[in-house]
Structure 1
Amino acid sequence: MSVEERVKVDSSDAHSFYSHGSTVTSGRLIRFHIGSSLKITHH
């Protein structure tokens, strides 16, 4: 494996890691937002 190939693999791994992390974070924010809005409507 050449250095160029290794760099390509590393950058694609980092991209998938960051996209997965942002998906999980946005999912938590959406769930928190839904939960807080449900509490407001129940009052």
Structure 2
Amino acid sequence: MRRYLLPHEDDSEISIARAAWLLTRQREDLEAIVTNAVCKAFGGK
């Protein structure tokens, strides 16, 4: 996960924690995008 998101960083605890936070943030953003798209597709507001 860290090598994919932060290839220039080392395997320190800080870098791994940063990568985990980024992955969580990306998933939350994607969830919001999908939710908004579904609402628009089905005529919701």
Normalised-by-shorter TM-score class? 0.7 to 0.9
Report % sequence identity: 6
- Name stretches of at least 5 consecutive residues in structure 1 with no aligned partner: 37-43
Runs of 4+ in 1 over 4 A off after TM superposition: none
Larger-gyration structure (1/2): 1
May I ask how many residue pairs the two structures share in their alignment?
34
More helix by share: 1
Computed over aligned residues only, the root mean square deviation of the Cα atoms, in angstroms, reads 1.6
TM-score (norm 2): 0.70
- More relative contact order in 1 or in 2 (CA 8 Å, sep 6+)? 2
- Name stretches of at least 5 consecutive residues in structure 2 with no aligned partner: 1-10
Letter in structure 1 aligned against 2:34: S
TM-score (norm 1): 0.73
